[in-house]
């Protein structure tokens, strides 16, 4: 069995640690934070096999350009000559075609379904109560254009074996009678689920600590030494950490960590915002996605978590209140009785989704170093795909056949 050092303590890093420890490896996780408030905590908590279409799609280029001129839009790219953004943008343009969408659907679906099954299994383990609910997700739409697009998507989903149904307004109303609707209908992604990310992360940390996994917090990796096609040690300032195997699970910080190894990990941080509101009436019991607004609403911990926006920029601590207002203002357009107030800045959570240019995660061995595994680039689906990525990372390091093909996720793919 190997001594494994995982760089990164988000959902992917901790899931990798979980399955590696279960496989008998000696595991250490190192992170520059305290592992208690990364991107894995503030997301919408959705498990989404329905999301088999990558970010890089033919229509996204034109739509993204239109959205750039609206300060409240759900997607924004800050214009910059940042080499990281230029490289990302060129690859995005290269992949934004129908062939890529078709090629990506099956591997993304397989990865998502594996992850959902693993979360179902994990929820039955002692100490892993993270409120997994399997009621699906409702994708609501207001326009004929969105209806047509979502109905087409549902048809594609069914071809992939996913349980999806196009619902009328009356059918939507029957599912949640207390929710007033101003929509044309919805697609019910019955294949989806949701959970509490805060409870999941806490459960993973508690398990790993009790299982003897070393959790090293507030240590930023500053240097990585290599020799003979292998990583020999990782340094945090003057402190040295050695292992047999190394995992890069550093989310939006992966390009910087990869650079220490001479690896070009092409991804951009996509800032997203969320905030929580009490919902004593339990108006929403099935998570909602607002198609045109690109907003997510999830019942969670006795309230509702509202989330949205994708803001591609350098990592920063700015809160763009216009983007948050865009989330708030979109909600009553779909649900007239639901009118969340604009939250105070201190109540707004933000995090950075590690978004690859082609919309697929990076999972696999590095070709340059035979003891490095890359597990990053999951975009908005980090939580959803975390469990599967963790298992696959464990299988790679254990030298076992992987549960699904990972060819499409090769870290150095073209």
- Tokens coding 73: 């839009």
Bridge partner residues of 356 (DSSP)? 267
Average pLDDT of the segment spanning 185-204: 98
Average pLDDT of the segment spanning 303-323: 92
Distance (Å, rounded) from C-alpha 150 to C-alpha 253?
33
Looking at CATH, the fold of the domain delimited by 3-409 is given as FAD/NAD(P)-binding domain (3.50.50)
Average pLDDT of the segment spanning 382-404: 98
What is the structure's pLDDT at 380? 93
* Average pLDDT of the chain, as a whole number: 94
Q: Is 356 helix (H, G, I), strand (E, B) or coil?
A: strand
The answer to whether 367 touches 111, Cβ cutoff 8 Å, is no
Q: What length does the chain have?
A: 414
Q: 11-22 and 197-210 are packed helices; what angle lies between their axes, rounded to 10 degrees?
A: 40
Share of the chain above pLDDT 70, in %: 97
What is the structure's pLDDT at 217? 97
Question: What ranges make up the beta strands (E) of 288-357?
Answer: 288-290, 295-300, 303-312, 349-356
Q: How far is CA 374 from CA 74, 192, 351, in A?
A: 29, 27, 21
What is the structure's pLDDT at 71? 67
The answer to whether 287 touches 132, Cβ cutoff 8 Å, is no
**Cβ atoms within 10 Å of 75's Cβ, excluding its own:** 20
Range in 62-66, 234-238, 327-331, 357-361 with the lowest mean pLDDT: 62-66
The answer to whether 350 touches 271, Cβ cutoff 8 Å, is yes
Confidence of residue 203 (pLDDT cuts 50, 70, 90): very high
Distance (Å, rounded) from C-alpha 385 to C-alpha 112?
6
Given a cut of 80, is residue 73 above it in pLDDT? no
- Tokens coding 294: 């690109």
* Prediction pTM value: 0.95
């Amino acid at each position: 069995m190997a001594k494994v050092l995982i760089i990164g303590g988000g959902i992917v890093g901790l899931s990798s640690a979980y399955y590696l420890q279960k496989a008998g490896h000696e595991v250490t996780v190192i992170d520059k934070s305290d592992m208690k408030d990364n991107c894995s905590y503030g997301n919408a908590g959705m498990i989404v096999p329905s999301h088999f279409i990558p970010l890089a799609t033919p229509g996204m280029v034109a739509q993204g350009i239109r959205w750039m001129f609206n300060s409240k839009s759900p997607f924004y790219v800050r214009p910059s000559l940042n080499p990281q953004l230029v490289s990302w943008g060129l690859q995005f343009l290269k992949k934004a075609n129908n062939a890529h969408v078709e090629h990506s659907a099956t591997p993304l679906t397989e990865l998502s379904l594996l992850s959902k099954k693993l979360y179902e299994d994990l929820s039955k383990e002692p100490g892993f109560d993270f409120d997994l609910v399997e009621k699906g997700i409702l994708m609501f739409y207001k326009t004929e254009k969105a209806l047509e697009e979502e109905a087409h998507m549902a048809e594609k989903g069914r071809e992939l074996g996913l349980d999806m149904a196009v619902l009328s307004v009356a059918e939507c109303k029957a599912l949640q009678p207390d929710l007033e609707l101003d929509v044309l209908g919805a697609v019910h992604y019955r294949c989806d689920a949701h959970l509490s990310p805060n409870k999941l992360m806490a459960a993973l940390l508690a398990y790993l600590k009790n299982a003897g996994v070393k959790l090293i917090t507030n240590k930023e990796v500053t240097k990585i030494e290599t020799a003979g096609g292998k990583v020999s040690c990782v340094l945090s300032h003057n402190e040295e950490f050695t292992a047999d195997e190394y995992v890069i699970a550093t989310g939006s910080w992966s390009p910087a960590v990869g650079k220490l190894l001479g690896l070009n990990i092409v991804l951009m941080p996509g800032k997203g915002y969320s905030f929580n509101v009490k919902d004593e009436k339990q108006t929403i019991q099935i998570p909602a996605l607002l198609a045109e607004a690109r907003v997510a609403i999830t019942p969670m911990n006795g309230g509702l978590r509202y989330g949205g926006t994708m803001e591609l920029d350098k990592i920063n601590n700015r809160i763009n209140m216009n983007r948050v207002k865009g989330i708030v203002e979109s909600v009553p357009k779909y649900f007239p009785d639901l009118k969340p107030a604009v939250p105070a800045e201190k109540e707004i959570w933000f995090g950075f989704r590690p978004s690859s240019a082609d919309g697929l995660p990076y999972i696999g061995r590095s070709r340059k170093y035979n003891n490095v595994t890359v597990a990053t680039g999951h975009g908005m689906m980090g939580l959803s795909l975390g469990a599967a990525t963790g298992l696959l990372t464990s299988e790679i390091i254990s030298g076992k056949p992987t549960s699904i093909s990972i060819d499409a996720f090769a870290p150095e793919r073209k």
